[in-house]
Copies of this chain bind each other. A is one copy, B any other.
Amino acid sequence: MHDLAQRLGVSVTTVSRALQDHHSIGRKTKDSVKKLADELGYQRNSMAAALRKKKSNTIGVIVPQIARPFISSMISGIEQVANEAGFSVLISQSSDLYQKEVKHASSLYSSDVDGLIVSLAMETQNYDHFSPFLDHDVPVVMVDRVTEKLEVDKVIINNFSAAFQATEHLIASGYRRIAHMGGAAHRNIYRERKKGYLAALQKHGLVTEEALITDTILSIDAGIESTRRLMNLANPPDAIFAANDTTAVQSILYLQELGIDVPQEVGVVGFNNDPISVIVQPNLTTVSHPADEMGIAAAKQLVDKIDGERRGIETITIETELIVRDSSTKRSTNPAEKSTKGLISRDVQNVQNII
């Protein structure tokens, strides 16, 4: 900038203003400044600007794991909105570890991010690491894995009602002994899903046995192991409602290994609408969990607050939808109805990003 100013015989102030289209600078001056800047390949130093303005035009994101379909779609949504609004995105993953989340929070804070989007680690139960942000009025938005212990903006889905609906669907499909493969109980999304499941059973007067419920980390192995345990029960379930698609799909595959027909003998419903849900045969009935929409909503919420266009705390609830596919609907035994023999069912339209 000094260079530009000298060459043009004006002050750095003028250059700075011209580059920012400040109203008090003449057309001619602006044009000449911009022209020379272009020619010399001048690139504004955002560090210095950030330091002076105390605004970095950067938002921080902390997620449990980047490499999950749900999370990466969410990040993608965040990135789009943020970039349109002129923000860069600083990303970090906690690997579901509390310690890492704390470290990242502190590092992002001292990077002077203008705002923070968080989806909590599975482990996290203490939230003091977010205090610096709250104390210094740096906006925070929590997405999906949130906590009621912090008064911040949130973007969530109605896990209770989604789970309730999913379970009722199984009941309506004729299943009676329904198991639930759930996640860590202190993470409210899993707690809510379990509650919704229990509420549906109760409404219809069905058994709610502890033995029919597993609490795991919802990994591949956990899916196989939980299914094994459930099917080894003296009185095994005739349906499984899993808190994510990963475990649901593993259930289907494992049941098939056991020679058990899905959905004829055991029905399965998942959660998330991951790509795999339309690849597995039979296609998995699941709950759409619009990750990109959630990311977009969170980023918008954050940007609006940073730009001062919004005050106060709000929680946005994104709509989900039960997507009924073949893993939970018994085929008709009426020979009059036409079967789909030869035709494998597919439902490519509804699935989340899959490329």
- A residues contacting B by CB (< 8 A) are 41, 43-48, 50-51, 56, 58, 65-69, 71-73, 75-76, 79-80, 83, 88-93, 104, 106-112, 132, 218-220, 224, 246, 249, 253, 256-257, 259, 275-276, 279-281, 292, 342-344, 346, 348, 353-355
Set of chain B residues within 8 Å of A218, measured between Cβ atoms? 355
Task: Write the nearest CB–CB distance from A64 to chain B, whole angstroms.
Answer: 10
Pairwise interchain contact A43-B355, C-beta atoms closer than 8 A = no
Q: Which of B90, B249, B281, B353 contacts A67 (CB 8 A)?
A: B353
Q: Which of B256, B344, B353 contacts A253 (CB 8 A)?
A: B344
Q: Given A111-B88, A281-B281, answer yes or no on A66-B75 (Cβ-Cβ < 8 Å).
A: yes
Pairwise interchain contact A90-B92, C-beta atoms closer than 8 A = no
Pairwise interchain contact B90-A90, C-beta atoms closer than 8 A = yes
Smallest CB-CB A-B distances: 9 pairs? A72-B72, A67-B76, A66-B76, A43-B110, A67-B72, A67-B353, A67-B73, A279-B279, A47-B51
Q: Which of B91, B224, B343 contacts A91 (CB 8 A)?
A: B91
**Cβ contacts A to B, 26 pairs, < 8 Å:** A43-B109, A43-B132, A45-B51, A45-B110, A45-B112, A47-B51, A47-B112, A65-B76, A65-B355, A66-B76, A66-B79, A67-B69, A67-B76, A67-B355, A68-B72, A69-B69, A79-B91, A88-B111, A91-B91, A220-B354, A246-B354, A253-B344, A253-B346, A257-B343, A276-B279, A280-B280
Q: Report how far A348 CA is from B247 CA in the complex, Å.
A: 13
Set of chain B residues within 8 Å of A90, measured between Cβ atoms? 58, 88-91
Q: Which of B58, B79, B276 contacts A93 (CB 8 A)?
A: B79
Set of chain B residues within 8 Å of A343, measured between Cβ atoms? 257
Pairwise interchain contact B56-A67, C-beta atoms closer than 8 A = no
Q: Which of B47, B249, B276 contacts A56 (CB 8 A)?
A: B47
Set of chain B residues within 8 Å of A104, measured between Cβ atoms? 83
Question: What residue of chain B has the Cβ atom nearest to residue A74's Cβ?
Answer: B67
Q: Report how far A90 CA is from B108 CA in the complex, Å.
A: 11
How many copies of the chain does the oligomer comprise? Answer: 2
Set of chain B residues within 8 Å of A79, measured between Cβ atoms? 66, 91-93
Q: Report how far A300 CA is from B253 CA in the complex, Å.
A: 38
Set of chain B residues within 8 Å of A110, measured between Cβ atoms? 43-46
Q: Report how far A176 CA is from B131 CA in the complex, Å.
A: 65
Pairwise interchain contact A93-B76, C-beta atoms closer than 8 A = yes
Set of chain B residues within 8 Å of A354, measured between Cβ atoms? 220, 246, 276
Set of chain B residues within 8 Å of A112, measured between Cβ atoms? 45-47
Q: Report how far A175 CA is from B294 CA in the complex, Å.
A: 46
Set of chain B residues within 8 Å of A259, measured between Cβ atoms? 342
Set of chain B residues within 8 Å of A292, measured between Cβ atoms? 67
Question: What residue of chain B has the Cβ atom nearest to residue A103's Cβ?
Answer: B83
Q: Which of B65, B92, B219 contacts A83 (CB 8 A)?
A: B92
Pairwise interchain contact B88-A107, C-beta atoms closer than 8 A = yes
Q: Report how far A257 CA is from B340 CA in the complex, Å.
A: 10
Task: Write the nearest CB–CB distance from A41 to chain B, whole angstroms.
Answer: 7
Q: Report how far A80 CA is from B138 CA in the complex, Å.
A: 26
Pairwise interchain contact B75-A106, C-beta atoms closer than 8 A = no
Q: Report how far A18 CA is from B67 CA in the complex, Å.
A: 39
Set of chain B residues within 8 Å of A58, measured between Cβ atoms? 90, 111
Question: What residue of chain B has the Cβ atom nearest to residue A55's Cβ?
Answer: B47
Q: Report how far A292 CA is from B253 CA in the complex, Å.
A: 26
Set of chain B residues within 8 Å of A80, measured between Cβ atoms? 93
